[in-house]
């Protein structure tokens, strides 16, 4: 099998309201991975159009996600930080993947079903084809690992299906152009930990989400200490005290969610958290969670605001990152055009 250089890629949509789920499920893990891997982190602005076409705040939201990356500790000198629309290879490869992926594959995507809702006829073609663009984002850099939240698992499986079909259907051309047995890696998702799926603070059966109409359902990265405290205190819970062991969280989604958030913020396992708080009432546990959340998120929110006050600096980071990303992307696009059979002049 072809050996691929280890490379991490992941993205976040600039659709506003960056929240604790985005941080614990994705950005915090991006920061950890930069210690050991070659990483590319992207603000996926083209994806942002799939849900709502005209977004006057898109530039500010793009800078907000970039500021969050930097404020959380991603170093743009060691990693590549850029916005998707500035590297044309994403759109070029996505078109080829539109022709690789099958309608049936995309029709099974649960995120499309959820986001399109009952009015499917009115959903944009972009929302339907979103997973193909996501596969292009990842495979343009022939990334081997993608840290994401649990909600993206199915899209990662589709990315592997696309890579596999491309490798098989073009096997002769791939070998003929000197790329060995496979041109694209079968990318591994990196999903895990106690916060792979952070749930809404108002309803333990729904994931915490940017688009939830209730601001009390999520903790935003820019919330101040008072707002965080209010949201945690109002978070839905049940009447029982916390159990002493993780098995006792079964069928208690709200308790499980708050314990998972505490564990992820303190870099511990839920069992250890319950070792400390088992038997406590929620009022006491919520107090400790407020202190921890304010301690961890306060500096991030403050640094985001500081960075956002200097948009020119953020734009320079994105411009430099886009140039470095484009250099890697160009190699893939040249190779893919050769493999597919487009005549180059």
148 binds ligand AQP (CB under 6 A): yes
Give the residue with the Cβ less far from ligand AQP, 22 or 85: 22
To ligand AQP, the closest distance from the beta carbon of 30 in angstroms equals: 9
To ligand AQP, the closest distance from the beta carbon of 190 in angstroms equals: 10
156 binds ligand AQP (CB under 6 A): no
Are 109 and 155 in contact by the 8 Å Cβ rule? The answer is yes
Give the residue with the Cβ less far from ligand AQP, 140 or 333: 140
Give the residue with the Cβ less far from ligand AQP, 90 or 210: 210
Active site residue ranges: 115, 207, 210
CA–CA distance, 191 with 25 (Å, rounded to integer): 8
To ligand AQP, the closest distance from the beta carbon of 67 in angstroms equals: 15
* Positive or negative: CA dihedral 69, 70, 74, 75: positive
- State residue 235 phi and psi, 5-degree precision: -60, 140
To ligand AQP, the closest distance from the beta carbon of 65 in angstroms equals: 8
To ligand AQP, the closest distance from the beta carbon of 51 in angstroms equals: 6
> Taking contact as CB under 6 A, which single stretch among the options 100-108, 180-188, 190-198, 329-337 is the one that binds ligand AQP?
190-198
Q: What residues contact residue 334 under an 8 Å CB cut-off, 6+ apart?
A: 344
Contacts to ligand AQP from residues 205-224, by CB under 6 A: 207-211
Q: List, edge to edge, every strand of the sheet that includes 80-83.
A: 80-83, 39-43, 8-12, 145-147, 188-190
152 binds ligand AQP (CB under 6 A): yes
Give the residue with the Cβ less far from ligand AQP, 15 or 322: 15
163 binds ligand AQP (CB under 6 A): no
* Positive or negative: CA dihedral 105, 110, 111, 116: positive
Strand partners, 40: 9, 80
Give the residue with the Cβ less far from ligand AQP, 142 or 210: 210
CA–CA distance, 67 with 155 (Å, rounded to integer): 26
Give the residue with the Cβ less far from ligand AQP, 197 or 252: 197
Count other Cβ atoms within 10 Å, centred on residue 248: 17
| Measured CA distances, 287 to 179, 194, 213, 234, 316 (Å) | 57, 20, 26, 12, 41
To ligand AQP, the closest distance from the beta carbon of 33 in angstroms equals: 13
Helices and strands, number each (H, E), in the chain: 15, 5
Strands 39-43 and 8-12: parallel
237 binds ligand AQP (CB under 6 A): no
Contacts to ligand AQP from residues 9-28, by CB under 6 A: 12-13, 15, 21-22, 25-26
198 binds ligand AQP (CB under 6 A): yes
Please, where are the H alpha helices in 218-281? 225-234, 253-265, 270-277
Q: What residues contact residue 343 under an 8 Å CB cut-off, 6+ apart?
A: none
Q: Which residue is nearest to ligand AQP (CB)?
A: 25
Give the residue with the Cβ less far from ligand AQP, 92 or 150: 150
- Looking at 76, 131, 149, 243, which residue binds ligand AQP (CB under 6 A)? 149
To ligand AQP, the closest distance from the beta carbon of 149 in angstroms equals: 2
197 binds ligand AQP (CB under 6 A): yes
Contacts to ligand AQP from residues 51-110, by CB under 6 A: none
CA–CA distance, 134 with 5 (Å, rounded to integer): 20
Q: Quote the radius of gyration of the chain (alpha carbons, Å).
A: 21
Residues that bind ligand AQP (CB under 6 A): 12-13, 15, 21-22, 25-26, 148-149, 151-152, 196-198, 207-211
């Amino acid at each position: 099998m072809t050996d691929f250089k280890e490379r991490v890629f992941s993205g976040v949509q600039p659709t506003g309201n960056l929240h604790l789920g985005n941080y614990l499920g994705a950005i915090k893990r991006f920061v950890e991975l930069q210690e050991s891997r070659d990483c590319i982190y992207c603000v996926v602005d083209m994806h942002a159009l799939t849900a709502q076409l005209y977004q006057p705040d898109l530039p500010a939201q793009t800078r907000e996600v970039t500021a969050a990356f930097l404020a959380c500790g991603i170093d743009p000198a060691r990693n590549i930080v850029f916005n998707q629309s500035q590297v044309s290879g994403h759109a070029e490869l996505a078109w080829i993947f539109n022709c690789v992926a099958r309608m049936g594959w995309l029709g099974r995507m649960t995120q499309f079903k959820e986001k399109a809702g009952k009015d499917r006829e009115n959903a944009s073609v972009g929302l339907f084809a979103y997973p193909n663009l996501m596969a292009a984002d990842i495979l343009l850099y022939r990334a081997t690992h993608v840290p994401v939240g649990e909600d993206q698992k199915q899209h990662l499986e589709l990315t592997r299906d696309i890579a596999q079909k491309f490798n098989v259907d073009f096997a002769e051309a791939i070998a003929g152009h000197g790329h060995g047995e496979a041109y694209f890696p079968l990318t591994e998702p990196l999903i895990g930990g106690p916060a792979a799926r952070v749930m809404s603070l108002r309803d333990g059966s729904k994931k915490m989400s940017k688009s939830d109409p209730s601001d009390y359902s999520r903790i935003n990265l820019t919330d101040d200490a008072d707002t965080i405290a209010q949201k945690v205190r109002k978070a839905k819970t049940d009447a029982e005290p916390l159990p002493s062991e993780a098995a006792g969280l079964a069928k208690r989604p709200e308790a499980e969610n708050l314990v998972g958030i505490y564990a992820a913020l303190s870099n511990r396992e839920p069992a250890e958290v319950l070792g400390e708080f088992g038997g406590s009432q929620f009022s006491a546990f919520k107090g400790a969670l407020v202190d921890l959340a304010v301690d961890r998120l306060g500096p991030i929110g403050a640094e985001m605001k500081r960075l956002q006050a200097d948009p020119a600096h953020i734009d320079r980071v994105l411009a430099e990152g886009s140039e470095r990303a484009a250099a890697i992307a160009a190699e893939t696009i040249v190779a893919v055009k050769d493999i597919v059979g487009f005549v180059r002049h």
